[in-house]
Amino acid sequence: MVGYKFMGKAHSHAYKDVGMFFDLNADVVMKAICGRDENGVKAAADKFGWESYETDWRKMVARDDIDMVDINAPSDAHKEIALAAIAAGKHVFCEKPLALNLSDAREMLDAAEKAGVKHGVCFNYRFLPAVQLAKQIIEEGRLGEIHHYRATYLQDWLVDPNSPLAWRLKKEVAGSGAHGDLNAHCIDLARFLVGEFDRVIGHSRTFVKERPIPASSSGLSGNGGSEKGEVTVDDATAFLAEFKNGAMGTFIATRFATGRKNGNTFEIHGSKGSIRWDLENLNNLEVYFREDEPNLAGFRTISVTDSSHKYAGNWWPAGHIIGYEHGFVHIVYEFVQHMTGGSGFAPSFRDGVKCQEVLEAVDLSIERGSWVGVDEV
């Protein structure tokens, strides 16, 4: 595994726990974690339960005892590592966004397909029980024809103008801001739930254009944040969308939604019913059916915690909620099963590419000030 910060911790936890709660075709062995800072990665290996560590991902990728590489390094490193891992015949599981841009993403997909390795992108939210239930309801036709899809991804960690200029705020490392980080999730969920995008138009803002440069994270020097640097990604991006099935979509991702911490939500209206969901309350799904008796119709708040719900039965009895990290356990479970003889797996690199297409179509629409077809990019 490459990367040991936020995502590194979430992924490590998933590998550690998946075998305890799920029956796998094969055991997961946590061979090696990789990071550039030796002290940091050594500590992480110990803490998270990896057998060994590497400071050069090339070495890790070359190891014979490793079947699969999990990439959760910053976005600008995804492509090079993935291509090397694929070349070495490893299965590859990669954090989103798949790459810094669409052409890189396509190159990665091509390489993986040609090499015949298994590939996946970590759109972890697909694998929460509430989202699985939403998918099932829609596939069974119980919402009817879909008319509206509205999504938000609301965070507020950048509202403070003195919040430092982290790597996520530099275009050359992160590729994008709220758009690539947050809208990527919303786009993937929309594709998963209601289908492909037709055309989009958006706008974006960088509300705070300069931020303090953080002191060196290794703590050696004391430049203390008095200098400022330019923020080169968006703080917020919103867009309108039209889906190929005729539905209208509204999307907004922002890191300036004061008071909203992790508001990844969707609300879907169809001709027969509606669904809504909020990641901060991820154990509930709200569903409305027009077919209910008129005086008894209302949004039902369904606790997706009993064993009638996918994955929920592997955890605790009804009403004993699960948390954010459980989505990673589920996606890792599915990917491991896929690697070891299971049927198909999505989201694959193809889904990573498709998501990137929409992201870039939005970027292009912002540049042009007019609608852009997703097939144009």
Interacting residues with a second copy between 261 and 280 (CB under 8 A):
261-263, 269-274, 279-280
48 or 335: CB nearest a second copy: 48
1 or 81: CB nearest a second copy: 1
> Looking at 4, 28, 45, 48, which residue binds a second copy (CB under 8 A)?
48
- Write down the least CB distance from residue 370 to a second copy, Å: 4
> What are the tokens at 71?
């990439």
Alpha-carbon distance 35 to 356, whole Å? 26
> What are the tokens at 355?
């998501």
- Write down the least CB distance from residue 239 to a second copy, Å: 7
> Looking at 325, 337, 342, 373, which residue binds a second copy (CB under 8 A)?
325
Which among 348, 327, 377, 339 is positioned nearest to 82, based on CA atoms? 348
Which among 6, 15, 8, 10 is positioned nearest to 34, based on CA atoms? 8
Residues 6+ apart with CB under 8 A from 189: 123, 125, 126, 131, 151, 266
140: left (phi over 0), alpha (psi -120 to 50) or beta: alpha
Residues 6+ apart with CB under 8 A from 116: none
Q: Do β-strands 273-278 and 284-289 pair in parallel, antiparallel, or remain unpaired?
A: antiparallel
> Looking at 76, 164, 288, 342, which residue binds a second copy (CB under 8 A)?
288
62 or 159: CB nearest a second copy: 159
Q: Which x/- pattern, by CB under 8 A, does the window 93-112 give for a second copy?
A: --------------------
150 or 350: CB nearest a second copy: 150
Contacts to a second copy from residues 134-173, by CB under 8 A: 137, 143, 145, 147-148, 150, 152, 154-157, 159, 161
> Looking at 6, 65, 116, 221, which residue binds a second copy (CB under 8 A)?
6
223 or 258: CB nearest a second copy: 258
